[in-house]
Structure 1
Amino acid sequence: MPNPKKRAEKQEAASSKKNAAEAAKKASAEEAEWNKGAKGASKSDKEAEKKAEQQRKKDEKARLEAEENAALPSKPVAKAKGAEKAAAKKTNKIEDFLAASGIEKKAPGLTATNIDDALDALTITGKGPKVVNTADIDRHPERRFKAAYAAFEERRIAEMKAEKSGLRLQQMKDVAYKEFQKSPENPFNQLTADHNGESLIAPWASIANQSATREELQDIAQAERQKTEKRLATK
């Protein structure tokens, strides 16, 4: 007959062995899981380190480029040099134009730095289209003043309305009036003759008179020519 005590011991031993096996299995599983997590963390750390190194290299490259650009001449200087070259080229063309027209030989003291001056120089030497003669001198600017101002005012008010200046009608008329005082469209700003036969160029000159003689008108034309010649000679 089996001994109950021994059978109990065997059952206890088997149970202990089973528990030990389960504990070992559980420990093994936990260790495997931990190793897996550690391996994943290591991979993430390596990726983060790689990205940090790439950013560091990028920042270093940007810093070096900034230092290099700071050492170079600024772009506005380059533009200024380009403008100087263009101005010099333009001046040379004007000088060539004067030489081809024979102005330097006929009037060596004259200089021109722009197209208007060059045309004035042609006028002085008798080759230009702007030779002042007695026909160019307006004896009656007052007869043309009203119509000229009306046309000027109408055009400027239309322009200011198109620009949406926000001015009232009277304000726009005031602006047009002030502008007309200095406008070349103002008959009194054009070459006129007064009762003394003198040249009147200033704005709002006195009204012309029919008493200016032909000789006086010729004197006015000659005076204008001398003024232009003096201006070009002093440039």
Structure 2
Amino acid sequence: MAPKKNMNEKVEAARERKAASKDAAQKKASKDAEDAYWRSAGEGAKTKAQAKREDEERKRQEAAARKAELKRLQEQEEAALAKPKPSLKANRVSGPKVTHHELDRLRESEAAEKEAQQRERAMAARREVGAQSYSRMLGVENTNRQEDGVDARSMEQAIDALSSLGVSEAAPADKHPEKRMRAAWKAFEEHNLPLLRMEKPNLKQTQYKDMLWKMWQKSPDNPAYMAGKQ
């Protein structure tokens, strides 16, 4: 039994050597093929590791360049925002080139300033109502009595009353004062009613109407009020 066992061990060892030799040959062939690929790709005698390092270095430099460019653009934008905001009128006089971004910013600023002025006028009119009048509105109906003694509980009555006072004759060129009055009142109501609801929430609709009417009596948007001041 011993000679047969030794023979089996030799056969097994020979198989292992043959397998190892075959594996080494396959690895060498794979490496040779890979080196040939890199040479055919124009890398010359560079190895894969060298090509990989150069590719990584190239990508790193490109990323650094992009980062530097982004930083430059951010600094440029911050510097532009930090500059004093020129007026649109000054730009028209001096005539410098204005970018779309700057023009949009100027328009937004002018619109915000105009809206702030409108809010200030509305608040000034509301302050005239006063705390005492506001308390009465919580439980007492407003008669909307004008200072000249005319009662006006609705827009139609106000127009009729104003006509009786000769407001329409004060402006003979205006053939339809009632249309102008209604349009002015509608615009005034649409602008100021949301502001009143935010400032004094939880009131009834009639109470808001009363407050609006009091504001309307001395509003520059009221054609009758402006006609009486002329």
TM-score bracket relative to the smaller structure: 0.3 to 0.5
For the pair shown, which has the larger CA radius of gyration, 1 or 2?
Answer: 1
TM-score by length of 2: 0.35
